[in-house]
Structures are given as structure tokens and as C-alpha cells.
Amino acid sequence: MYDNLKSLGISNPDDIDRYSLRQEANNDILKIYFRKDKGEFFAKSVKFKYPRQRKTVVSDGIGHGYKEVQEISPNLRYVIDELDQLCLRDQVEVDLKRKILGDLQHLESVVANKIKEIEADLEKLTNGR
């Protein structure tokens, strides 16, 4: 799994925290950030430079005019797909944690209110006699 990331020399893709991608001249610059270890001030990162792929395409639809366009390298596209899988998985886990915490807080307030209601009923029974 994550063969494209491993081909870049990233032996443990699960340590990846996030990534950034920017275009600089005729290159795409991919920067991958890893999770910080305790006590570290800055996250470790690695940078990769991919030349943009050049293509000649028909510009007017009838075959008379052509223009050159640049697009992202196919290899980089595969790497980004794997990075998105890793980063999206982490986001889903964070969202699930938030949901669980919200559910627990709601349950706590429901139980607290029910306890107050039962205590009030007990108080009525005790004072009524």
C-alpha cells in the first residue's frame, strides 16, 4: 500500500501529517510534513520537485490552431491520490472523535437532568408525608 510514496523514500507513510503543493515556474513543488515528535519545535518535512508535463492541443476545435499547455505530472497525481487517502482518513478520525465527544456531553446532560428530576420526585415523597 502507498507504493508511490514508498518509491519516494517515505518508509512509513502513516507518519505523514499534511502536505502542500505549489507551482513554481515550470515545476510543481510538493512538500510533505510529518507528525512532530514530543519536544520537537518544528515538523520534519521533505520537498519534491516535479517538472510540469507539456502537451500540444488543438486550440480552435477544427484542427487549424494548436497551443501548448502544461499540466501536473501523472506520477505526481498518483502521489497526491495516496496523500489524500492518508490525510482524509485522519480528518475522518478527527471528525468521529468530535462526534463521540459531542454525544458523550449530550448524554451527560441528559443523565444529569434525569437525576435532578428523580431527586425532585423523591423530595416530594419525603416532604409529603
Place of cell 512532530: 36
What is the C-alpha separation between 107 and 114, in angstroms, rounded? Answer: 11
What is the C-alpha separation between 84 and 21, in angstroms, rounded? Answer: 12
Model confidence at 25: pLDDT above 70: yes
Other C-beta atoms closer than 10 Å to the C-beta of 10 total 19
**pLDDT, tens digit (0-9, with 9 covering 90-100), for 32-89:** 999 887 777 777 889 999 999 888 877 776 667 788 888 889 999 999 999 998 887 6
- 90: nearest Cα among 4, 6, 18, 3: 18
Q: Which band of pLDDT confidence, cut at 50, 70 and 90, is reported for residue 90?
A: low
The string of DSSP codes covering 37-105 is: PTT-SS--EEEEEEEPEEEEEESSSSSS-EEEEEE--HHHHHHHHHHHHHHHHHHHHHHHHHHHHHHHH
Q: What is the pLDDT of residue 63?
A: 63
